[in-house]
Amino acid sequence: MRIWDINPGYLNRQSLLGEHRELHGIVSIIVNSKKGYSSHPETLRWVNHGWALKRRHDLLVAEMALRGYSHQSPVTTRRNKDTWPDVMIDEPHRQLQILKKKYIGKEQGRIPLPENAQQLWAQHKYSVMARDVNLYKRLGKRISAIRPGDGFLELADMLSARLKTPPEFSGIRNALQHMWGYLPDHAVPRTGIENWTLKKLMKVIQRTVMEHGEPYLLVSTALSELEVWIETNHIHGKAF
């Protein structure tokens, strides 16, 4: 059994759908007090973390939808709001290494497994921007100055933890505005979007990126994960 702590965009189809099934299995074991796998370390770390299980499920579903997969199985657990398990089976940097070995000669995820801190940062930068602009600026400067191969482990673990923090309305709006600037001019309107909600803006960005294959945004964690926080917080205010 495995519930990953890294962004679901790194998972290939088999791993993504497999985690979705296993998460539902863990929810069923915990909610219904089933004995099967109740003592498994992956199950134990999620006990009393119903809210976090639902958030992880939402992240999986958002990534599944982005790739064209649907689901009819909601998770409604809510215990310990805003709290994630302290224990991990493997640290996030180790999880990326595990996937890299596992995917040799196999299908990859939407987001390529990063080779260095610079690539890892580029994949997460808009997710960080949505949560803390000052941190976004500091990390950008620091990572641009380090040598390739340095700082990867620390950055991977920090980013994974940071993305568990819900972003504010203004932060999501700022990140989506920056993402919008990368979309092809011929594919989206450049006027009239000031009356759009964040939800609509998110959907148009997703659809445009997937249809046109915009390379920079296609490998961004923000392309699926920000949608979860828009839905979770019912953020439907004006986007621009």
Over residues 128-151, the pLDDT tens digits come to: 999 999 999 999 999 999 988 899
Average pLDDT value for residue range 151-164: 97
Task: Encode pLDDT of 30-66 as tens digits.
Answer: 999 998 889 999 999 999 999 999 999 999 999 999 9
pTM: 0.95
- The candidate with the shortest Cα–Cα distance to 164, out of 121, 139, 127, 110, is 127
CB atoms within 10 A of CB 74: 10
Tokens matching residue 49: 């973390």
CB atoms within 10 A of CB 4: 24
3-state percent breakdown (helix, strand, coil) of the chain, nearest 5: 60, 0, 40
Length of the chain: 240
Task: Encode pLDDT of 17-27 as tens digits.
Answer: 999 999 999 99
Measured CA to CA, the distance from residue 5 to residue 157 in angstroms comes to 10
At 60, which amino acid appears? Answer: L
- Per-residue pLDDT at 197 exceeds 90: yes
Q: Residue 197 in 3-state DSSP?
A: strand
Q: Mean pLDDT across the chain, nearest whole number?
A: 94
**Confidence band of 71 (pLDDT split at 50, 70, 90):** confident
Measured CA to CA, the distance from residue 162 to residue 167 in angstroms comes to 10
For residue 234, what pLDDT is reported? 59
- Per-residue pLDDT at 114 exceeds 80: yes
Contact 59, 163 (CB under 8 A): no
- Delimiting residues of CATH 1.10.440 domain(s) in the chain: 1-111
The CATH number of 1-111, from 2.40.50, 1.10.440, 1.10.287, 2.160.20, is 1.10.440
For residue 231, what pLDDT is reported? 82
- Per-residue pLDDT at 101 exceeds 90: yes
Tokens matching residue 233: 């917080």
For residue 232, what pLDDT is reported? 77
Long-range contacts of the stretch 167-172 (C-beta < 8 A, 24+) = 167/130, 167/131, 167/226, 167/229, 168/131, 169/198, 169/233, 169/235, 169/237, 171/129, 171/130, 171/131, 171/132, 171/133, 172/130, 172/198, 172/226, 172/229, 172/230, 172/235
Concatenate the DSSP letters of all residues of 126-175 into one string. HHHHHH-HHHHHHHHHHHHHSPTTSSHHHHHHHHHHHTTSPPPHHHHHHH
Average pLDDT value for residue range 187-204: 91
Q: Which has more confidence, 75 or 191?
A: 75
Average pLDDT value for residue range 189-196: 87
For residue 211, what pLDDT is reported? 95
For residue 240, what pLDDT is reported? 65
